[in-house]
Chains A and B, each alone.
Chain A
Amino acid sequence: MQLCGSDILVKTLIEQGCKTVFGYPGGQILNVYDSLYKYQNEINHVLCAHEQGAAHAADGYARTTGGVGVVISTSGPGATNLVTGIATAYLDSIPMVAICGNVPTTQIGTDSFQEIDITGVTLPITKHNYFVGRVEDLADTVREAFRLAKSGRPGPVLIDVPKDVQIATCEYEPKPPVEKDAPFAAKDVRIKEAADIINAAKRPFVYFGGGVITADAQDEVLSLAERIDAPIGCSLMGLSAIPTDHPRFLGMQGMHGHFASSMSMHNADVILSLGVRFNDRVTGNRTKFATGAKIVHVDVDGSELNKTVNSVCGLRGDVKLTLQKLLPLLNEGKKPDWMARVNAFRAEEEGYLDKREGLTPRRAILTLNKHLGANTAVCTDVGQHQMWAAQNLNFKTARRFASSGGLGTMGYGFGAAIGAAYGTGERSVLVTGDGSFGMNLNELATAVRYSVPVVVVIMNNGVLGMVRQWQTLFYDKHYSNSILERKTDFAAFAKAFGADGEAVATPDALDKALERAFETEGPYIIDCKIDKDEFVLPMLPPGGSMDDIITKLEVEL
């Protein structure tokens, strides 16, 4: 059938199985919005307060569903507002398709009103991007964008569609949704090599990241650890893949990771690394990182092998399929000495836990845990609260945690939590700080308008806590521009936007507030007062090694 470009675009999105998309209209995307109006019974568009929030919402939707998140914006500032959202998705390998309008092709390159070279701008933060110059190419470009976004190591793809291409017509032929490229296992010879190394290990450690969630390989990870009697740790991006209370799971590793997890990894003789990329926040000083360990590294992206740390065995392939082939080659066996050492690390960690009374950050998260259902998605912003959440949340189900790991985007959380609520069809939770929340709190308007159930817990300490922590430790307590001194009344703010909220100062009050929040129809804000000098511990100082780990605060405040 003959259709105009904007109809073809929306029809192709529907064809790809998009149920909900996020975005914001404007001059050069009006035709697409006209088509969204026309097909509103088949595709739901959520109007956000800002394109950045919309991009994060598409990201939160993608993380919680495992599908591709879609965000739509106009040209120029609409497109540049997406940039942080796209970069966030890129650094965390989240499948996303961003669609921007642009000025008509005849005006491209003339600095027209609201013209920006968005394919140029997003070149380094997308897997690929497209400028669609002909309506005949539009449908297949959208299809290829979806295939790329979800294949291999997922990531964002941008499509720039000039207005005249949205208006022009051509023949549209419906097609079935594109499949991602078939995943493949690593080469047999490498798998055999890996098996030999693991079979010879006396102190194996299984370390996994976001790649395991992408590949849906949590069962294989558990079977493997069980078979070789190894403890399991993960990166921030791996959180939620394995239930927190699993007896083999030591939690997150890295700069603010669990002591037992970091120590076990540091003392392992073989680290089986699955879908991780050894970011500097994980390794600290790379020359001192796990010096006694042989690293076996499985990743679907070959460029991650030997990128930052050298592995003795690099396996390029899908984690799930590779582990399925690896498992039968591994000897079953108990390692009581090693597990005793791991348990000793655990006991030591228990001693470091913050057990103070009152509304401490840890107690706040533990209180929140009591209210979380197995399907509740928790999103965070970036900073101290993010680490407290990562350390103390009780994860039950994979894909129920969304946090900006790679880019570290303050302001990510609210949009993501809205996207997560749509993705799961359930109430979501945002754990944030007063600094991060201040960046994109405009999205409360979105949550109110669509009555999106988001429980917002603001860890409010009146300062940029993580910046302050570094200033305390490394900058002679020069609190340069990290004291907010704002007079924001978050409960009143909630009311002004048409929501409800309250401030709490004790664990008991937080508990009751959460009860109310989880019964509220739309969003609910809890302003949780905590002290400005709370620290995230343990801490591996930047560029440090496990010998430098800070487990107790010995700074005079």
Chain B
Amino acid sequence: MNRYTLAVLVRNQFGVLNRLTSMFRRRQFNISSITASETESEEYSRITFAFDGEENGKQQLINQLYKLPDVCSIKELTENNSLSCELMLIKLKNDPATRDEIHAAAEAFKAETIDYTKDSIVLRIIGNSTKMDDFISLMRDHTILEICRTGTASIEKGSSTLRQNLNL
């Protein structure tokens, strides 16, 4: 099983995210992360998601996406042709016994402390998904109170954009 990242430009219509996720559900595509946001143009929204599966599953997914009239452009983003990052907020128990270890790990991962109370520490960490996963597994030794991840945001390297090949 591989992980593929796809960026999709869609018409900025009410319910468009639902149209995509409804298709993922009924055709049983395994989506591990999804982000949706406004773009540089009011006309379009951008949906970036990660799909876990095989090459022919990915091709089928792309073909099914193209059938949705709201989908304007699709691009597969790979490590070579794109830049990706994710943001995570993680809330940990502030225990004097483990406080130093948490701070040391946070420093190594370039995580920023954005909230600090007697009982809790909130860290903000930015990077690729693997970095998040690694940090979480490191923190499993301590008490994780809450995690919130944004999902992956990806953009192509260089000057090319999704809008350059509309409605393929």
- Point out residues on A near B: beta carbons under 8 Å: 119-120, 123-124, 127-128, 131, 148, 301-303, 305-307
Contacts and interface: CB of A to CB of B under 8 A. Distances in A.
B158 interface: no
Q: How large is the interface on B (under 10, 10 to 19, 20 to 34, 35 or more residues)?
A: 10 to 19
A303 B69 contact: no
Given A127-B69, A128-B69, A131-B14, A303 B63 contact: yes
B69 A123 contact: no
Interface in B57-88: 59-60, 63-64, 66-70
B56 interface: yes
Given A119-B15, A303-B63, A124 B69 contact: no
Given A131-B14, A303-B60, A306-B59, A123 B67 contact: no
Among B60, B68, B69, max chain A CB count under 10 A is at B69
B158 to A, nearest CB: 27
A123 B22 contact: yes
A123 to B, nearest CB: 5
B18 A303 contact: no
Contacts of B66: 302-303
Given A148-B69, A306-B56, A124 B63 contact: no
B140 interface: no
29 contacts: A119-B15, A120-B18, A123-B18, A123-B19, A123-B22, A124-B22, A124-B23, A124-B26, A127-B67, A127-B69, A128-B68, A128-B69, A128-B70, A131-B14, A131-B15, A148-B69, A301-B63, A301-B67, A302-B63, A302-B66, A303-B60, A303-B63, A303-B64, A303-B66, A303-B67, A306-B56, A306-B59, A306-B60, A307-B60
Top-8 shortest CB links A-B: A303-B63, A128-B69, A302-B63, A303-B64, A124-B26, A123-B22, A306-B56, A148-B69
A120 B18 CA distance: 9
Nearest to B61: A303
B18 to A, nearest CB: 7
Question: Interface of chain B, helix or strand or loop or mixed?
Answer: helix
Interface in B1-47: 14-15, 18-19, 22-23, 26
B83 to A, nearest CB: 29
Contacts of B19: 123
Contacts of A148: 69
A123 B60 CA distance: 19
B54 to A, nearest CB: 12
A141 to B, nearest CB: 12
A449 B122 CA distance: 73
Contacts of B14: 131
A127 B66 CA distance: 12
